[in-house]
Structures are given as structure tokens and as C-alpha cells.
Amino acid sequence: MCGIIAYLGEKPAYPILMKGLYRLEYRGYDSAGIAILNKELTVIKTRGKVSELEHFINGKNLHGTIGIAHTRWATHGEPNDVNAHPHYSQSKNLAIIHNGIIENYGTLRKELIHRGYEFRSNTDTETLIHLIEDIQIKEGVELVEAVRIALNQVIGAYAIVIISKNDPDMLIAARKSSPLVVGIGEGEFFLASDATPLIEHTKDVVYLEDEELAIIRRGHELKIKTIKNKEKTPYIQKMELNLSALEKGGYEHFMLKEIFEQPRSIKDSMRGRLNVKKGTVKLGGITEYEQKLVNARRVIMVACGTSWHAALVGEYIFEDLARIPVEVEYASEFRYRHPILNEDDVVIAISQSGETADTMAAIELARDKGATIIGICNVVGSSIARATDAGSYTHAGPEIGVASTKAFTAQITILLLMALTIAEKKGTISRLRYQEILTELEQIPEKVTETLKVNDQVKFIANLYKDSRNALYLGRGYNFPVALEGALKLKEISYIHAEGYPAAEMKHGPIALIDEEMPVIFIATNKGTYEKVLINIEEVKTRKAKIIAIVTEHDERVAELADHVIEIPETEEMLVPLLATIPLQLLSYHIATMRGCNVDQPRNLAKSVTVE
């Protein structure tokens, strides 16, 4: 949700922190701040984006080799200068940055006010730094111990870094349910919400576990202990990321780059897993749990947003191929119901970031009920990847644009590979059919490349509809989740109201919205319920809506009815979402840019939603 970066070493901290903030800005961008220690502990923060902070700092003296910085997505307290992080303690001897939510901050705040503490902001975070200072004074303990004691009193989620004016050679960090990674360089340390700002500096990283404290001291080795005071040995891992994956590579926006990366990202999802010649699929990460999946009474897929749409496609694929009943649940709903779950159920948690709080909570619930949990994540080493029994990474590479694009197609690819594995083991698919799907799947990256050629046509169509106030996306079968995803993409980056609906369901209500002003986007490819969708298109046309249709190449029947047709290559019905999604991603991208919207950082959104 928020982005954290901190540095302790021999180099000037300011440029490292500022660059780190830009890298992390996709996580939150309503305000930003920095604290640098050089005799004085200077905090500078402002509402707005990192560039505004940089502009604001311009010329101010920020020398020092130790500092912390933060880019925020507001939860408690509106986004303004005062609520931006870092927050000082009462004495201004300490400063903190925080990602997460302190759920019991109300009670703690009242007690602290009662004890004479004055609050400058409306944030939950300020409560924590006052609490730490209070414990330090009241109990006469070292700062590390005060942090540890305070964290035992806190309910909620946190990734924090604390800097102290009285100790220019130390940073203290801790995490629970919000990610934090320590980078270890030559005589220097970094702390960050994810590995992206560390890549230029080091490949050696330690992912902190829940309720762990990291004590970083100049000239000493990294020390880790739990908040229950148990010493831990840091597990240093080699980070596998390259710089080009984090840069725009000549594209105007990350989102466009990521849309155009899909031939490669889908291929990477299949690499080493799909072998058409041998007629095999091997998902190494779930080998030990294959039998669990084969014997599963039921599969429950939990996810949020775009990942939830991928799960819906997965439901169709699993039921078609592996003949296992599947339920798809919004993680946020699942966690607060009393779901009936038992040991024969397999829960598949899908998440690009691997940090989504609701999905994480759904996993915890499923674990309590004894279900097996499989993860499908993009971010390596993320919390969800670590919390599941087994799983498969999507290997789509870093997705920086807030609107999810390549992660969606990669998730569907993994779900396909998983369903094929189970179907083959269960004997619910013939050898011939299995081989046919494998062969077609291997062709998909090329067909995505082919599909991307519609970009100019889509741009032309976008220009005609960029001023629309509403849009309706309709599809059936495998194309229904595609319609949902198309609508989500449009609304989140262009702020045009859009709805996705099963095409036949339209006549039960949404048809009332249709008039000559309304663009209706049909996903009308040539398999499954194609004939039925033609009838739905007729119904819309009669009501004078403007029709944009995604069709299979050489289709003539939809062309007779639609105002615009966008062709995608012929493929298996279950693989259509991998192609049909592409023009919809491009359509929302072009409309949003034409409307002057910030497509990579849409308003009110953040890349990973680590709070409820």
C-alpha cells in the first residue's frame, strides 16, 4: 500500500532514498516524505507525488548517510502534509515510517493523550512512535527493547522503520502482514517494501518474516529477533531481478510496456513447464500436491480484482478439463463468511503482488479449517507465496503499472497448466485432446504478438469513444470474465463508469441503460455460445447503442451488426481470454491517455492492497 525505503551506509542517503521512492511510487502516491539524520534529524514531507517532494526539497540541505523515506496511500488521515510520513516522536528524537494499519490505535492514542502526548497528525502511525518513546522513557530501556515491547501491544499490520537522533548508526525495522526486505551491500544496508529499489545496489536480500525485528548497525552484521525476543539467523537469498524489467524501455507508460510484454510473459509462464514434443506439463512447485488436487472434492479459488477475474476463467477451465467443482470467492467476502471447508478441499489463492491483505486472510482461514492451499503469485518471496503449502509463480516479471495486465494472462496460463496436469492424472481428458490443447497453448505467445497488431485500430476507436460517460462489456462463457476484466480496466484508469455483464443477463436490467450514447463492447468469438451472442448483439443494436466487437478473424456475421470489429486470431475456446483481453487492455489504455489520466498511477488506487 505504502512504499518504504531506508538506507544506512557510507554514501549520501538522499539520492538513494529519492530514487527508491520513485521505484516504489506505484505502491502509493498521495504524499511522500523523507528523514535524514546528520546531527539533526530532519523530516521533510508533503502532499502529492514523489516529484513534488523532490521539488519541495530542492536546495534544502539534506546531507547524511542514514535516512528513511516513504510514499503513502492514505488509510487513517487524509492525504496532506501533516499526515504524510515520516512521523516524529514527541521529543523529535525519533522518526518512523509505516506501511499497514494499527487497528487498536484509537485506544492507544487515548491513553497517550491522557499521559500528555500531543498528536500532530490523524494517523495511526504517530500513535506507534509516541508509544515507543513513552516505553523508552517510562521503562528506561534501549530503543530496540522499547520497539519490541510496543509491538507486543499493537494489533494490526505493520512494516516499520525507525531512526533515532541519538543513534546515528542504527536503524530498527519490523514487519507483520506487510512486506519488508533488507538489502545487504558492502558496508551498507537498505530496507524496502519490495526488492525493486535495491536492484542497483545489491542482490543479497533477507525477507523479514512476520513479527521479526531487524536491527541494523553500522559496521555490524544484520541482527534479527522476534518480538517475543528470540534470536534468528538471517536467511540471505539472491535476488533474481534485472534492471530493464523495472524501466519503461522506450514506452510512454509501464502499462503499455506491460501489455506489449505479454508474448514474452506468457512464454515465461510456460517455460520449462510445457513440453509439447514430449506431451508433458510439469509445474515443479506443486508436484507434491498433485495428488491432493486429483482427489480434491472441491477447489475454491480466492482472489481480488483482476486476479479474481483470472480465477473465474480458471473455474471454467478446471471444470471443463479436470471435472472438479470449483467455487470462486472474493477473498474479502470469504474471510468473513463461515465457509464450509474441510480437508478434501483445495484452496487456490491467486495474487499478482502476493501481499493482498484480504487474500492473505482467506488463506489463514482456510488453513485453520485444514484445507490444502496452493498459491499462484507473481512476486517471488511474497507473503502469500510463503504462506501457502505449495504453488506456482507466474514469472510474468515485475508489474509496475497499477492496472494489472500481463499478470492476468500469466495467471490464466498457470491455471491452464494446472488444470491440464490434474485432468491428465485424473483421466478426464483424452490423450488426443490433451495434446491438442498443449500444441495450441504453445502457439499462444505468437498469437498474442499477432493480436497486438490491432493497436492502431484500437487507438482510432478509442478516439471516437473517449468522451463516453458509460460503457457496457458483454460476453458469455469464457468471455464473461473477459468482459468483467475489460470493464475494470476502463473504469480504474479512465474513470469512465463501466460494467461487465454476462451478455444474456443484460436483458434483465442493464438493457434499460442502453441508448445511442452507450458504447457496448461485445466479446463475440466464434466458439461456445457464439450463436446466442449474435442474438444479444441484435438486441443491443435495436436499441441504437454503438457496438464494438472483439471477434475471431474472418468473422462476417458480427461485422454486419457491429459498428467496429476488432479481430483476434482463431484459437481454442478456453484460450480465447488470453487473446481477447489484449484489445480491451489497449482500449482502456488509449482512452485513459486521451483523457489525460495518469494510467500508471490512477487516482485513489495502489498496486498492492495490504490493508482491508
Helix ranges (H only) for 42-120 are: 50-57, 105-114
Compute the chain's Rg from CA coordinates: 25
For residues 82 and 33, the answer to whether their CB atoms sit within 8 Å is no
**Sign of the dihedral defined by the CA atoms of residues 165, 156, 328, 504, in that order:** negative
CB 431, min distance to ligand M6R, A: 35
Pick 558 or 584: Cβ nearer ligand M6R = 584
Q: Classify 163 as helix, strand or coil.
A: strand
Q: Classify 561 as helix, strand or coil.
A: helix
352 binds ligand M6R (CB under 6 A): yes
The single residue of 49, 406, 546, 607 carrying the catalytic annotation is 607
* DSSP code for 208: P
Pick 108 or 521: Cβ nearer ligand M6R = 521
74 binds ligand M6R (CB under 6 A): no
178 binds ligand M6R (CB under 6 A): no
Which residues within the stretch 184-223 sit at the binding site for ligand M6R (CB under 6 A)?
none
332 binds ligand M6R (CB under 6 A): no
Pick 304 or 341: Cβ nearer ligand M6R = 304
Q: Distance between CA 354 and CA 375 in Å, rounded?
A: 9
Pick 353 or 536: Cβ nearer ligand M6R = 353
Please work out the total of residues on this chain that contact ligand M6R, with binding judged by CB under 6 A.
17
356 binds ligand M6R (CB under 6 A): yes
* DSSP code for 203: S
Helix ranges (H only) for 115-238 are: 124-139, 143-153
Cβ neighbours of 36 (radius 10 Å): 27
608 binds ligand M6R (CB under 6 A): yes
Q: Select the residue interacting with ligand M6R from 124, 167, 194, 492 (CB under 6 A).
A: 492
Q: Which strands make up the sheet holding 546-552, listed edge to edge? A: 497-502, 470-475, 519-523, 546-552, 564-568
The answer to whether 304 is a known catalytic residue is: no
347 binds ligand M6R (CB under 6 A): no
348 binds ligand M6R (CB under 6 A): no
Q: Distance between CA 61 and CA 434 in Å, rounded?
A: 65
Q: Distance between CA 420 and CA 414 in Å, rounded?
A: 10
136 binds ligand M6R (CB under 6 A): no
269 binds ligand M6R (CB under 6 A): no
- Residue ranges of E strands in 514-594: 519-523, 546-552, 564-568
Pick 46 or 411: Cβ nearer ligand M6R = 411
The site map against ligand M6R for 302-321 (x = CB under 6 A) is --xxxx--------------
CB 582, min distance to ligand M6R, A: 15
Q: Distance between CA 2 and CA 18 in Å, rounded?
A: 15
Sole window of 88-96, 100-108, 188-196, 348-356 interacting with ligand M6R (rule: CB under 6 A):
348-356
Residue least distant from ligand M6R (Cβ):
305
Sole window of 202-210, 272-280, 345-353, 565-573 interacting with ligand M6R (rule: CB under 6 A):
345-353
Interacting residues of 11 by C-beta distance below 8 A, sequence separation 6+: 65, 188
Cell of 253: 507508460
Q: Select the residue interacting with ligand M6R from 123, 351, 409, 526 (CB under 6 A).
A: 351
CB 27, min distance to ligand M6R, A: 11
CB 352, min distance to ligand M6R, A: 4
Pick 389 or 485: Cβ nearer ligand M6R = 485
Cell 497488431 belongs to residue = 453
The answer to whether 597 is a known catalytic residue is: no
Sole window of 105-113, 160-168, 171-179, 298-306 interacting with ligand M6R (rule: CB under 6 A):
298-306
361 binds ligand M6R (CB under 6 A): no
Query: What are φ and ψ of residue 517, in 5° steps?
Result: -85, -15
Pick 170 or 609: Cβ nearer ligand M6R = 609
CB 275, min distance to ligand M6R, A: 28
Give the CA count within 13 Å in the CB-facing half-sphere of 582.
31
Query: What are φ and ψ of residue 411, in 5° steps?
Result: -65, -45
Name the residue among 293, 174, 168, 175 with its Cα closest to residue 219: 168
Cell of 495: 474513470
Which residues within the stretch 392-411 sit at the binding site for ligand M6R (CB under 6 A)?
402-404
359 binds ligand M6R (CB under 6 A): yes
Q: Distance between CA 214 and CA 206 in Å, rounded?
A: 10
For residues 412 and 266, the answer to whether their CB atoms sit within 8 Å is no
Name the residues that contact ligand M6R, by CB under 6 A. Answer: 304-307, 351-353, 356, 359, 402-404, 488, 492, 605, 608-609
Q: Active-site residue numbers?
A: 2, 607
